[in-house]
A and B are shown apart, each in its own frame.
Chain A
Amino acid sequence: AQSVTQPDIHITVSEGASLELRCNYSYGATPYLFWYVQSPGQGLQLLLKYFSGDTLVQGIKGFEAEFKRSQSSFNLRKPSVHWSDAAEYFCAVGRSNDYKLSFGAGTTVTVRA
């Protein structure tokens, strides 16, 4: 079985400050990794994905994430947050031997002026 852990339920950050959201997974082989963002009342938008290759991946809206196999982590970062980044963020993990996607519980980001 695989599981995805997002240790932080809620993070508050000042506008212009940096942001890091944590994601840890448990899976024996190399997983497929995703970060999604959901604004209130909206659907899911894919921020970035990792399948293989360079472990630092760039996404949309200035986000990046780094895959660290030794730590089973795929943390999301943004150097300078904007008020529009207030949303809920989900980490998701897919396996190579089936089609299922497992999601973390999500981290809600609040941006203060």
Chain B
Amino acid sequence: NAGVTQTPKFQVLKTGQSMTLQCAQDMNHEYMSWYRQDPGMGLRLIHYSVGAGITDQGEVPNGYNVSRSTTEDFPLRLLSAAPSQTSVYFCASKPLKGHEQYFGPGTRLTVT
């Protein structure tokens, strides 16, 4: 049972490039979410999903796309990276009826 996994751990992009941050969980959790962490701001919710085929926006969704084709995977896409997207990204999951979210190890993204 690996829990929540994220790849890559580190990434450097140039402005305008696109990429996908991967998130997978093996706990059969319905709910999955993406957060970004910036100094002095805690973690802010980007997008979330309550099941395959269902996604919704969080607090800071602009510049990011998500999809949920399977229960296990919830990738986060940056279509055209901007320096303002330099951050640490965390994926989390939980059972729909549970309260505790389980976090992945994070991806540190730098956009130059």
Contacts and interface: CB of A to CB of B under 8 A. Distances in A.
B25 to A, nearest CB: 14
Interface in A1-44: 4, 9, 32, 34, 42-44
Given A34-B100, A90-B42, A103-B35, 14 more contacts: A42-B105, A43-B103, A90-B43, A92-B43, A99-B33, A99-B96, A100-B48, A101-B43, A102-B45, A103-B42, A103-B44, A104-B42, A106-B40, A106-B42
Interface string B73-112: 0000000000000000010101010011101111000000
16 contacts: A32-B99, A34-B100, A43-B103, A44-B90, A49-B99, A49-B100, A90-B42, A94-B99, A99-B31, A99-B48, A99-B50, A99-B94, A100-B58, A101-B45, A103-B43, A105-B40
A46 B48 CA distance: 20
Contacts of A46: 100
A22 to B, nearest CB: 14
Which applies to chain B's interface (DSSP): helix, strand, loop or mixed? Answer: strand
A57 to B, nearest CB: 13
Interface in B7-64: 31, 33, 35, 40-45, 48, 50, 58
Contacts of A94: 99
Interface size of B as a range = 20 to 34
B42 A105 contact: yes
Q: Which of B31, B92, B101 has the most CB of A within 10 A?
A: B101
B99 A9 contact: no
What are the 7 A-B residue pairs with the smallest beta carbon separation, nearest first? Answer: A103-B42, A103-B43, A32-B99, A43-B105, A44-B103, A105-B42, A43-B106
